[in-house]
Structure 1
C-alpha cells in the first residue's frame, strides 16, 4: 500500500500557504502508447500498534475505492494510487505524515486520520497547502465547529471534512439509550484523557444527568494501561449499574474482563472507538452484554455496501471493515469524484488542490454508507447512529436512529 512517487523536498511554514504547481505525474506506457496521469490519494491512520485494527480498515477501504475508480475509468486519463502512512495513533506522527503528504506533488487528497487527537495536529498543515482531508472516523465537534462550538460555531479549516457524525450527537444518543431503554440510573464514567475519549465521556455525562441519571464516580486511565485492579475496586464499590467508557478498544477490552472477573457484572458502554471485533476477541465471554454506539447504520444492512464487503473479504484484507471501512470508501470516492470535476483529459491545473477542496464541498452522491454530502462546517449530513450489543460473540445492532439535542 505504500506507493512511491515524486516528492518535492520543501520546508513547511505553518503561517503561510505552501505553493505546489503541476500536481500529478505523467505515466507513459510505451507498449500501448497510453499516456495517463498518476494521482495519489493519501491515507493516514494507525496501521500498527494501538487502534491498528480500525486503522487498517480505513487503509483498505480507500484501496478498494481506488481500485474501483481505476477499473471503471471513473476519471479518464487518470490512474489513482494509494499512499498509506502509519501514525501509530500519535499526534506528532500525524503531523509529520501530513507534511510528507503535502510535499508529494501527486497527492490531491487525504483520507484520515482515525483519531481526533491526531487530527488536531494535521489540520493546519493541510489547510496551509489547500489539500483536502476527509476523516471517516473523527468525532470531536471542535474539529469542524471550533473550540466554542457549544455557544458559537465557527469552522476552523475549509479543507477538513468528515463522513462520521460528531460526539455532540453520539454522546447524547448513548445517554438516552442507557437511561430510557436500559433503565440505568447510576453510572460510573471513565475516560482515557484523549481528545476523543474525554470529550465523548463529558457529553455522555451531561446527557445522562439531564435525563435524571446520577454519576456514581469518575476516573481516568492512560493509553497503554493493562492493570485496572484499583479502578475495578472503585467501580465495584460505587454501586454503579453501568460503566461508561470514553476511549478506544485497546484499554476497554481489558478493563471489562477484569471488571467481570472481579464479580462486577455490569455492562461497559462506549463509543465507536470500541466498535471492533478485536474487543470481543480479547475480552472473550466477559464482553457479553457490553454496548457501543457507532456512526451510521450497520454497513451489512446497506444494499450498496454488498460489493464492498464481498471485495474486502475476497481480498482477505486485514483490519475491521465494519467500523469505518465503508466511510473510508466514501471519503475516497468523494475526493475521486471531485478530482474528476477538476481534471480534464488527464490535465491537472496548477491550482488543482484548491479546486478539489471546493468540489468536495459540493459532494452529493449515494455511497456505500448512505448519502454523502457535507454541511457548511464540513460535517456529514448523515446523522444516523446505531447502538450495538455483544450477543453470542458478535456485535448485534439493537437500535438505529438520530439524536436531536434539546
Structure 2
C-alpha cells in the first residue's frame, strides 16, 4: 500500500535553503551533502494512523543513519507529503519530489491505487521508489501475473511489502486448513488493493476446496452496511472475507455481529491497525493477515522498537513501521553504495547511481533480511495471521503460504 523517494540531481543544481550548490550533486551543508528522502503517505483523513506511522518510521531511519554517520559526508533529511489516500494528490506529490533535485529516493505510498499514479512519473525521472505497504501484484509484475506471464513494469519501483498474490493465498490457507472454515462470503471495496486481495483469496480458497457462498462490492466511504449484512445472513457463511481497509471494515464487522451473525470478518494488512478494534465494539475473534512476523517477536526489531519509543513520537508505528524503516534504509544503503563507488562523494547523477545500486542492496533489517528480486519485490514472503483478543490484535500463526 505504500512507497519511498530519494534522489540526487543529474547535471546542475539550483541553490536551496539547506545549503549552497555542490558540484557533485545534492546540497552542501557545511562539510556534508544533504540527501533528501521523500515520504508519501496519508497524513490526514481516515487512514492517517497508518500514514503517520510510516512518516515517523522513515524519520527514525534517517536520524539513525545521521547519528551513526552511516554514510560519510552525507546528511539525510526526510520530506513528507500528505497524499490524503487520493491518487490525484499522490501524482501531484510525485512531481514535487521529482522537481526537488536533492531527492534521491521516495518511500511510500500506502495505497496501491495512489502508487499507480506515481510509478510512471518516478520511472520517467529515474527516481527510486520503495513502498512499505503497496501489495497490488500488478504494480511490479503487470496484469500478466494472473496467467504466469509476469513482466516488470517500472525499473524504479521496489517494495518491502509482499504481494496480494501471496497474502491472499496465505489467508485462504489459514482460513481453510487451520481455522477449518469452508464457506465464505466475499466483499471488496473496488479499490486496487481490496479487489486484488479478494481475487487472490477467492482463487486460492476455491482451489483448496472452499466455497464462496456470495460476493459483493461496497463503497469504502459508506458506513451503513445493513443491506449487504442481510444478504450474508441468508447464505450460511462461516466467515466474511473483506478486501479493503479498516475505516469501513470496522463498522461492517460490527453490523454483521449486531445482526446476530457470530462469524469472523477476515481481511488483509489494510485492516491490521490498532484503529480497527476502536471502530468495532464487537471485533473479538476477527482476523487479519500482515507481512512478516510480528516485529515485537523479532530480535532484529528490538532496537527499532526501543528507539521509536525513545524518540517520543505521538503516533504508534502501526502495521508498516518496521517495513517503512527497512524501505528507508534500503535507500540509505543504495546511497552508501553510490558514494563508495564515487570516491566518497555523492555522484552528480545521484538518482541514476542510487537506482543502479538498488539491485545490490541486501542487509539485515528490522523485519528480516532485505533484498529485492527481478521484479523489485521483496524476497521475504513470511506472513502472519492475527486475531482480535481482548480488543487488540494478537498473533496466531506465522509462515509462508501454501498455494491452493
TM-score by length of 1: 0.91
Distance 2:306 2:364 in 1: 19
Distance 2:296 2:122 in 1: 33
Equivalent residues of 2:49, 2:318 under 8 A apart: no
Distance 1:244 1:173 in 2: 13
Residue in 2 that maps onto 1:24:
26
Residue in 1 that maps onto 2:399:
401
Structure 1 residue corresponding to 2:188, chosen from 191, 195, 198: 191
Distance 1:110 1:8 in 2: 20
Residue in 1 that maps onto 2:365:
367
Structure 1 residue corresponding to 2:55, chosen from 51, 55, 59: 59
Residue in 2 that maps onto 1:329:
325
Off by >4 Å, runs of 4+ in structure 1: 5-9
Distance 1:230 1:322 in 2: 32
Matched, 1:254 2:256: no
Q: CA RMSD in A?
A: 1.8
Residue in 1 that maps onto 2:155:
158
Q: Secondary structure at the match of 1:97?
A: helix
Residue in 2 that maps onto 1:389:
387
Distance 2:261 2:14 in 1: 57
Matched, 1:145 2:147: no
Q: Secondary structure at the match of 1:293?
A: strand
Distance 1:212 1:48 in 2: 42
Number of corresponding residues: 384
Matched, 1:78 2:74: yes
Provide Cα deviations, 1:120-165, integer angstroms capped at 9, x if missing partner: 1000011111110000011111111112112211001111000011
Equivalent residues of 1:57, 1:319 under 8 A apart: yes
Q: Secondary structure at the match of 1:138?
A: coil
Instruction: Structure 2: give runs of 5+ residues left out of the alignment.
Output: 1-7, 16-22
Distance 1:23 1:197 in 2: 41
CA shift in 2, pair 1:205/1:59, >3 Å:
same
Structure 1 residue corresponding to 2:88, chosen from 72, 87, 92: 92
Matched, 1:231 2:233: no
Displacement of 1:348: 2.4
Displacement of 1:345: 6.8
Matched, 1:297 2:299: no
Residue in 1 that maps onto 2:3:
none
Q: Secondary structure at the match of 2:117?
A: helix
Residue in 2 that maps onto 1:15:
none
Distance 1:363 1:316 in 2: 30
Equivalent residues of 1:192, 1:221 under 8 A apart: yes
Displacement of 1:8: 6.6
Distance 1:258 1:387 in 2: 23
Residue in 2 that maps onto 1:124:
120
Q: Secondary structure at the match of 2:234?
A: helix
Displacement of 1:322: 3.9
Equivalent residues of 1:22, 1:105 under 8 A apart: no
Equivalent residues of 2:173, 2:403 under 8 A apart: no
Matched, 1:203 2:203: no
Provide Cα deviations, 1:12-39, integer angstroms capped at 9, x if missing partner: xxxxxxxxx96410113xxxxxx21111
Residue in 2 that maps onto 1:174:
171
Instruction: Structure 1: give runs of 5+ residues left out of the alignment.
Output: 10-20, 29-34
Equivalent residues of 1:36, 1:346 under 8 A apart: no
Residue in 2 that maps onto 1:264:
261
